[in-house]
Structure formats: C-alpha cells, structure tokens
Structure 1
Amino acid sequence: MKIKNLKNAVFALMITSALVACKKDNNIVKEELPAPGKYENGFFVINEGWFGHGTGSVSFFDYESGSLKDSVFQKENPNSQGFMPTSSTVQFAAEFNHNLYVVSKARGPVVIADAKTLKEVGRIPGSTDYEWRAFVGLDENRGLLSASDGVYMINLKTYKPAFKLLGATGQTGDMLKAGKYIYVLNQSAGAIIYNAEDLTVVKKIAGVTLGFAQTPNQKVWYTKTKYLYSSNPQTLETDSVELPFTPPTTWSIWFSSPIIASTKDNTVFLLKSPSYGGGKELYKYTEGNKTTLEKPFITTPDKQSFYKRNLGYNPQTNQIVTSTVQDGYGVNYAVNNIYFHDAGTGQLVKQIPYSGYYFPAMFVFH
C-alpha cells in the first residue's frame, strides 16, 4: 500500500510541476500559432488592365468583409515598379510554394509576391527579349514560363531564365504538371507532353484547343475539335465525350484556357466562348454522366458577358466564381459583376457589382 501511495504522490507532483511550468504571471502560456496572412482569407482577381491607360492589377476578395479590394499589390509595394510598362497587360497568375507568380504579356514583367502578404519577393523585368504567357512550378528550384516562342526553364532562386526547352516552338500557353508528366499547350503542335524528370518530349497531340484541368482521380482534361478528352497522367491513355459546341483556341488575343475542375468530384467546367473571349454560357461535365452536358450549367444575366477566363472553382466553399462585363463597348467595360454559384446545383448564391476599367482575366484561389 505504501508503494502504491508513493506512486500516486509522485504522479500528482509531476502533474503539479507541469501545470506550474505552464504558468507565467498567473496566466496559462499558450502555444503561439502563426498569424494569418493579410491576403490569406480570400482569393485574387487578376486584372488585365485598360491597355494604354495604365498597367494591370491584382484585386482581392476578402471573405470576412465580403468585399473586393482593388490594386492590392500596388498598395503593398508603393515603391515597386509594379507591372510596368503600361504597354503590357497582366494576363495570368498562379500560386506555387507560397508565392504568387503574376505574368504579364506584351513584353511585360513576371512579378513574384508572397501569397499571404503580397510583398514583392522577386521579378523578371519586362524586356523586348521575352513575351511571356503562363507559369507552372516544378520544385523549389525550378519553374517553367511559356512564351510567344516556346517554353523557358526558370531558376526560382534567382528568378532568371536558364534555358529554352526543346520541342516547343512558336506561341505556347497553358501548362500543367500532373504525375510524371508536364502538359503544355502549343499553337502549332497542340498538346506537348514532357517527362517531368528530364524534360524530354514524350508525346504530341495535334489539334488540342483548350487545356488543362485536373480532377481528383488525377485525370487531365483538354478539348480537341468537338470533344472533351481525359488523359491518364501515368499511362497517357485517353477517353473522350462529345460536347454540344466546338471550343475555339485562345491564341488570337492570348488568354488562359477557360477550363477548370472541381476538387470534390470528377467534374470539369468550361466556357462556351469565341476565340477572343466573351460568351454567356458555362458548361459542366461530370465524368460518366453525359446528361450533365445537355444544357448550360450557368448562363450570364441579360446584357452581361464573360471577358476572358472568367471562371474559377473555389475549393474552400465548393462554389463556381464567375465575373462579367456589360455588353457593348466603351463605358460598358467599367460595369463589372462577380457571381458565386453552388458548384453542385449552379444556384446563384451571391452577386457583387463593382465599377472600373479592370478587364478581369482570371481568378487565383489558395
């Protein structure tokens, strides 16, 4: 009994000592967690900008306030060159390894900012040597930038172009790393599939028009003629389903392909739009269910149209986010709306109107 009582006493002393150790000035010391970033609780809207009247910009939709904040990069970096020169337009952005890569075309810069604070951490200055399109990260040291003349390897420590990949010539746009491959969209060759390890060309698929999106089953989706294709990123085997329309390319006035995927189920969303952007209908295809393509999933309100890649999937809310400008020209481009739709039903959840000549190009979600 004495031994048992001694054990209990020792145990009690240990608990008491632990509690005392956790106290400081009569307050329990709590583990300090990292403070949330200023731009962590929301998503980005990448704006092309009004060509010839200033540069593009980055807006931020704040979940807490339910409001859209404009020119957040410029406000966080008042001494930065921003997205100069004014002759360029911001057209693409992607988040990779906690950084936001904002890509300008028309000889503009690639600007890299911390995705939580939007403080600039690096840039590739605008230059007549390069005409950028899109970015995809490979690992902590390497990334790829597509351009009007192919694909370049980028050193992510120095933010300098290292070399040009073989196999892609001419205008090159959207890219996706999936499994052991990198899918690249090229104007003349269609889809070029590279080995992610040694960057050699594994396969080319002629005639591909839009790409790429990846569903939870890891399949990569793209369009060709009147069909939506899926590609297995391990075997490169493909399957297809016929669409009720023929998607065009986006090369005429380049913008990122308006095709996205859910992270909840194997569903793909894409816009029915002309090759220069616009359109009023968004379609949805759930793998194995052709009836989901029988009619548009979302149609814009009267006198409202999409502009470029104006659709995004929000994984935090399972919503489809779209943006529109008012039909017509001139002052109509200053009439903007953001819509939030349930990704399962298409039901409109919320609409936020805002004004200004932003020319929204695409969304980026954490």
Structure 2
Amino acid sequence: MKQHVRILLGLAFMATVAACNKSDDVRPSGPKVHIAKPEQTIAVGQELELKPEFTQDAGISFRWTLNGEPVGDKATYTFKPRAHGDYKITFAASTPNGKDSAVYNITVLGQYANGVLVLNEGWFGTQSGSVWFYKYGADTLVPWVYHAVNPGKNLGGVMNTLQYGAIHNGKLYMVVKAGGPLVVTDASTLVETGRVENAVSGKAMSFVGLDATRGLIGADDGIYPINLTSLAIGSKIAGVSGAIGNMVKSGNYVFAHSNNDGMIVLNATTYAVAGKPFKATVGFVTGKNGRIYGAKDSLLMSVHPTTFVKDSVKMPFASVNPFGAWRSVQMASSTVNDHIFIIQPAANWQYGTKLYRYVVGNAASLAAPFITLPAGQYFYGSGVNYDHHTDELVITTINGPYTGSENRVLFYNAQTGALKKTIRYDGWYFPAMTVIQP
C-alpha cells in the first residue's frame, strides 16, 4: 500500500514539473507583420500611402527605412518620390518580446513614362515645335510638357520643325529639321540632358541608337555617326549619299531609307555598306518575324535581316516618296501578331484617309482598308504607331487634306480596327509623330 502511494505521489510530482516546464516554454511572442502588395509601381508626382498589417502588442514601436535610411516611426508612411527609380522601403514593428519586418519594392516611373508622347512640328514661321503627353486612361493631352520641365529652353526656332523622336537606352532623341538642334532628354521625365545646336549643319532628319555609346544621324546628304556620351558628331559615312529618312537596327545591321538608293544596309560596327536590297519608296519597320518591311511603288516588300533575301506582296495602291517635305514613315508593325500596317497616300500633296493591314502570308488581307478615318479627318505626320503596351494603333490626324487647325489622336484596337478613343486639341500644331515608351 505504501509503495502504491509513493508511486502516485511521484507521478503527481512529475506531472507538476512537466506542467511548469510547459508553462515556461509558452512565452509572449513579438508582433507579426503582413504586406498585402509588396511590389508596386507609381510615377513621379504621385503619392503612395503604405499601411502594413500587424498584430497589436503592448509597448509596440515602428520604424520605416527608405533604401536603408530612417524616414518614419508611425504605423503608416506616405511615400512621395522626387525621382524615378527603384526603391526599397522596410517597415519594422517591435515590442520587448520581439520584432518582425517586411519590405515594399516600389518602382517609380518618370512623370511621362506611363503614356504616349506626341511630338508636334509647330507652326512654321510662327511657333516652334512642342511635346504633348497622353497618360494611359486619360481623356485629354497634357500640353507643352517638354517646356514645363525645361524652362527657358526650346525645340528650335519658328523656322525649324520638330520632325522625329526615338527612345534609346533611356534617352529621348528629338531631331528638329531645317536647321534645328538635336535635343536629348531623359525619356521618362523629359528633363534635357544635352543638345547639339544646328546638328549636322542643319541637315539632320532622323536618328537610330546602336549601343550605349554610339548612334547614327540621318541627314539630307547622308549618315553621320554620333558619340552618345559626348554628343560629338563624326564625319559622314562613306558610300552613302542623298537624303536619309528612317533607320532601323537589326542585329549587326542598320537598314536606312535613302532617297538615292532605296534600302541601304550598313554594318553596325564598321559602317561599311553591306548591301542595297531594293529601291524602296518608303521604309522601314521591323516585323514580329524579324523581317524588315518597306514599300516599292505598289509592292509591300520585306527582306530577311541577315541574308537580305526579298519577298513582296501586291498592294491595291502605290506608295509615294516622302522626301522633299520629309516625315517619318507612315507604317507600323505589331509585336503581338505578324501584322504590318501602312497608310494609303492621297493624290498629289493631299493627306490620306485609309490604312491597310497586311497579315503576313495572306495577300487577301490587303484587299480592303483595315481602317478608314472618320469623315473630315486626314492622316498627318507619320500618321500611325503601334503601342505594344495596349495592343492599340495610335493615329494622328488633322482636319484638312492640305492643312488644318484641329489635331486629333485616335486609339484603335489593333486586332479589330475598332475606334476606342479620340482626343482633340486645337491649334496650328501639326502632329509629326507619336513616341511609345519601351
């Protein structure tokens, strides 16, 4: 009996010890932090209020850091970026019992990165060129955005025309024709970073970037290399003469539209002439299939990007040489489908109203226009661009076959040809082209 009692007392003692030990193991834990959207994107000029979730506990304190630097000690934080870039914002919650943290990774776009840039020629003899901005989802254009961030600067004088723009390696290169400058800005903020006054003795017309330090300028007498670091322009490239319009780079070749020779192909490293595949009337754009497309009279032509082997399909109209009053090519290509878009020119110097779509490999797709503009509107400038962000065709028009003071930017579904939105802005601006962010 005594033995039995001793055993029971021993078991009771062990149970008590175990219970005490278990109680000691359960200690109060620190706060737990949760972020619903750790990856976010905003633009310069916007604010972002960050409200992380966390468990409450006595004596809790908070700490915010922005790229490692302390910026706050409240439960929420309002981020107001002044420059574009990538930001790491850390939120930490602490109590005497422990702490937890989480990280926001915020991408800040430049003020003009989330939309389409509209380059206007200007009113020759009266007003210089300008850049306007369409923000995705808006119903209007923001006017004079280059001038807004570059007070006191200009895009040439009233006798020059802003004719061409291209984004390369984070920079926007704008070419002001007829004696104007080459102006370089940050592509997303439009803050000017450099310029060349009276570029190529006033003959500059177009631009293409090659790599981080080299580019080419198309001029009315040939092609010139430019150092993108110093903006020093070199001597004219041998073997190329006459006016040069659009240029596209593919691999180690540059395909340039020449008034004298049609398509000229340059080695992008040595600048040696590698070929002259066909006498192009207009050009060029790069198709989704990698081929380089242009037109020769009533043929829509293409060449393989390395072998230069040609292909063609008949169009129901003839293309017209753009030189003289040169403007960027009235063509575009989809990045979603093997579709090439080309504007039908009107008679004489009038502006056209019809756009055709070639579905590569299907000649019948050119039998009828893909888009006919609304009554009273006419393509102007390059006229059409493809926006790979929205799968839309961005079209610029004016209200007269020769001239017009009503400018419009139209947005069409690139798959169906349905008109989605029209934005009108009045004045003698003459839209030269639109520029799509990479």
TM-score, normalization by structure 2: 0.76
What is the aligned partner in structure 1 of residue 433 from structure 2?
A: 362
**1:128 deviation in Å?**
7.7
The counterpart of 1:24, out of the listed 92, 95, 108, is: 92
Equivalent residues of 1:180, 1:233 under 8 A apart: no
What is the aligned partner in structure 2 of residue 252 from structure 1?
A: 324
1:308-327 maps to which residues of 2 (within 5 A)?
Answer: 308-327=381-400
Is 1:51 matched up with 2:51? no
Number of residue-to-residue matches in the alignment = 350
What is the aligned partner in structure 2 of residue 210 from structure 1?
A: 282
Describe the SS at the equivalent of 2:404: helix
What is the aligned partner in structure 1 of residue 174 from structure 2?
A: 102
Q: What is the rounded CA distance, in whole Å, between the counterparts of 2:349 and 2:231 in structure 1?
A: 31
Is 1:268 matched up with 2:340? yes
**1:179 deviation in Å?**
2.0
**1:358 deviation in Å?**
1.0
Cα deviation 1:63-105 (Å, max 9, x = unaligned): 143321111101110032x112221100000000011111111
Is 1:294 matched up with 2:375? no
RMSD over equivalenced CA pairs, Å: 2.3
Equivalent residues of 2:156, 2:176 under 8 A apart: no
Q: What is the rounded CA distance, in whole Å, between the counterparts of 1:130 and 1:168 in structure 2?
A: 18
Is 1:84 matched up with 2:156? yes
What is the aligned partner in structure 2 of residue 195 from structure 1?
A: 267
Counterparts in 2 of 1:328 and 1:251: CA distance versus 1, 3 Å: closer
Cα deviation 1:256-294 (Å, max 9, x = unaligned): 110110011111001111475621010100101112101
Counterparts in 2 of 1:23 and 1:327: CA distance versus 1, 3 Å: closer
Cα deviation 1:46-72 (Å, max 9, x = unaligned): 111100112111111011433211111
Describe the SS at the equivalent of 1:292: helix
Describe the SS at the equivalent of 2:146: helix
Cα deviation 1:231-255 (Å, max 9, x = unaligned): 1112111111011101011002111
Q: What is the rounded CA distance, in whole Å, between the counterparts of 2:218 and 2:323 in structure 1?
A: 13
The counterpart of 2:230, out of the listed 136, 158, 162, is: 158
**1:216 deviation in Å?**
1.6
Equivalent residues of 2:399, 2:406 under 8 A apart: yes
What is the aligned partner in structure 1 of residue 20 from structure 2?
A: none
Greater relative contact order structure (CA < 8 Å, 6+ sep): 1
What is the aligned partner in structure 2 of residue 231 from structure 1?
A: 303
Q: What is the rounded CA distance, in whole Å, between the counterparts of 1:23 and 1:127 in structure 2?
A: 51
The counterpart of 1:219, out of the listed 264, 287, 291, is: 291
Equivalent residues of 1:277, 1:308 under 8 A apart: no
Describe the SS at the equivalent of 1:35: strand
What is the aligned partner in structure 2 of residue 42 from structure 1?
A: 115
Q: What is the rounded CA distance, in whole Å, between the counterparts of 1:131 and 1:191 in structure 2?
A: 20
Q: Which amino acid aligns with 1:55?
A: S
Is 1:66 matched up with 2:134? no
Task: Mark the runs of 5 or more structure 2 residues left unpaired by the alignment.
Answer: 1-28, 34-61, 64-89, 95-99
Counterparts in 2 of 1:30 and 1:272: CA distance versus 1, 3 Å: same
**1:37 deviation in Å?**
1.1
Q: What is the rounded CA distance, in whole Å, between the counterparts of 2:237 and 2:121 in structure 1?
A: 27
Q: What is the rounded CA distance, in whole Å, between the counterparts of 2:306 and 2:377 in structure 1?
A: 41
Counterparts in 2 of 1:340 and 1:158: CA distance versus 1, 3 Å: same
The counterpart of 1:347, out of the listed 412, 415, 418, is: 418
Cα deviation 1:315-347 (Å, max 9, x = unaligned): 011011112111266xx6221222111111101
**Runs of at least 4 residues off by over 3 Å:** 15-23, 25-29, 274-277
**1:197 deviation in Å?**
2.0
| Percent of aligned positions that are identical | 35
Q: What is the rounded CA distance, in whole Å, between the counterparts of 1:341 and 1:48 in structure 2?
A: 23
Equivalent residues of 1:252, 1:276 under 8 A apart: no
Q: What is the rounded CA distance, in whole Å, between the counterparts of 1:320 and 1:50 in structure 2?
A: 26
The counterpart of 2:258, out of the listed 182, 186, 202, is: 186
Q: Which amino acid aligns with 2:166?
A: A
Equivalent residues of 2:408, 2:424 under 8 A apart: yes
Name the stretch that deviates more: 158-167 or 312-321: 158-167
Q: Which amino acid aligns with 2:409?
A: I
TM-score, normalization by structure 1: 0.90
Q: What is the rounded CA distance, in whole Å, between the counterparts of 2:401 and 2:320 in structure 1?
A: 22
